[in-house]
Amino acid sequence: MENKNLGNCKVGICNFMCPPAEIELRTRERLVHFLEKTSQNGRLQTDTDKMVKEYSRPAAGKRDPGPDDLRPPDVLVRTVDYLLGSITARKDVDWKDIYDFVFDRLRCVRQDMVIQNIGGCSGINILEKIARFHIYAGYRLCTEPIARFDPKINNQHTQECLKRLLYVYSVVPGNHDNRQEFESVYLLYNLGQTDALMHFYDLSNDLRTSSLISLCYRTSIEYMLGNHVRCLRLLHHHLCKQYPILLCALHRHLSNIQVNFVEIMVIFVINLNEDT
């Protein structure tokens, strides 16, 4: 079931990953990214089939995008599949450069979605893939210096994607194949956070009692209570091992868990010395 574009929502008619007007402009101004080029005779040449619409900030006095500038749901799905299937898999480019390019283009995908009020099954499909990208990127680039990768910005976009995805799940009728996985991801990504734990109680009984979601809920509760050993033991459950994205989502909390362990050991040693 797809969302209908109602009221003032625009309907995109651009059937390309990048609108022709933008292709012409960026080609003329030499603003084509090297990942949008093809090597020919040892030189990189612009390949219009590889060009993807870049993110543009809304600004006062700037022309609102028209139907020719907006990509409909099927084109957005195709664009996301290209970015995550072809670009992120490249081995000849530093993955940080890949991240910067894909981050920008996926942000533009979400911009097109918002303008057109795209939800439904297409919206779920797109948001699931974008959320996976951001969560994996946060894990893969966690050792990069802040000048090269800002985890706070990546976290902001991850949260926006997850919250929007969970909302679309709740308003689109039917069973969604990946909902249990992403409800669990939301709990682990926001480990011990009150909002995420309260969201658990807004779920239907079938979801709350599912093995995977209830396991992640218990894990989050143990973290909130400071029982980090129990928290990590729960993650050894075979269900978590079936979904690597869950471990990527939890990874950002490991440093806090390590600090907690060190603090506990310090207190234990101090108390031991005092007793002797």
- The string of pLDDT tens digits covering residues 188-211 is 999 999 999 999 999 999 999 999
pLDDT at 261: 66
- Give 5's pLDDT tier (boundaries 50, 70, 90): very low
Contact 212, 181 (CB under 8 A): yes
Assess whether 97 and 125 both reside in one domain. yes
Assess whether 122 and 164 both reside in one domain. yes
Contact 245, 161 (CB under 8 A): no
Tokens of 242: 């079936």
**Residue where one domain finishes, among candidates 130, 151, 174:** 174
Centroid of chain to Cα 252: 14
Assess whether 209 and 223 both reside in one domain. yes
Number of domains in the chain: 2
Model-level pTM? 0.90
- Give 262's pLDDT tier (boundaries 50, 70, 90): confident
Tokens of 106: 């996926």
Query: Pick from 12, 8, 9: which is nearest to 68 by CA?
Result: 12
- Give 2's pLDDT tier (boundaries 50, 70, 90): very low
Can you tell me the distance from the alpha carbon of 27 to that of 262, in angstroms, rounded to the nearest whole number? Answer: 55
Q: Could you tell me what percentage of the chain is helix, strand and coil, using 3-state DSSP and rounding each to the nearest 5?
A: 65, 5, 35
Assess whether 75 and 152 both reside in one domain. yes
SS3 171: helix
Assess whether 83 and 125 both reside in one domain. yes
Assess whether 138 and 232 both reside in one domain. no
In which residue are the tokens 């969560």 written? Answer: 135
Assess whether 208 and 233 both reside in one domain. yes
Give the domain extent around 216.
Answer: 177-276
Q: What is the pLDDT of residues 142-155, one digit of tens each?
A: 999 999 999 999 99
247 pLDDT more than 80: yes
**Residue where one domain finishes, among candidates 155, 174, 193:** 174
Q: What is the pLDDT of residues 121-132, one digit of tens each?
A: 999 999 999 999
Assess whether 163 and 196 both reside in one domain. no
Assess whether 94 and 203 both reside in one domain. no
Query: Sign of the C-alpha dihedral, residues 190, 218, 133, 123?
Result: negative
Contact 122, 64 (CB under 8 A): no
Q: Per mean pLDDT, which range of 25-29, 142-146, 254-258 is the poorest?
A: 254-258
How many other C-beta atoms lie within 10 A of the C-beta of residue 253?
Answer: 18
Can you tell me the distance from the alpha carbon of 192 to that of 209, in angstroms, rounded to the nearest whole number? Answer: 19
Assess whether 170 and 190 both reside in one domain. no
Pick 174 or 109 by higher pLDDT. 109
**Residue where one domain finishes, among candidates 126, 141, 174:** 174
Can you tell me the distance from the alpha carbon of 87 to that of 99, in angstroms, rounded to the nearest whole number? Answer: 9
59 pLDDT more than 90: no
Assess whether 81 and 203 both reside in one domain. no
Assess whether 189 and 164 both reside in one domain. no
Can you tell me the distance from the alpha carbon of 147 to that of 209, in angstroms, rounded to the nearest whole number? Answer: 43
Burial letters 114-147, b for 16+ CB under 10 A, else e: ebbbbbebbbbbbbbbbbbbbbbbbbebeeeeee
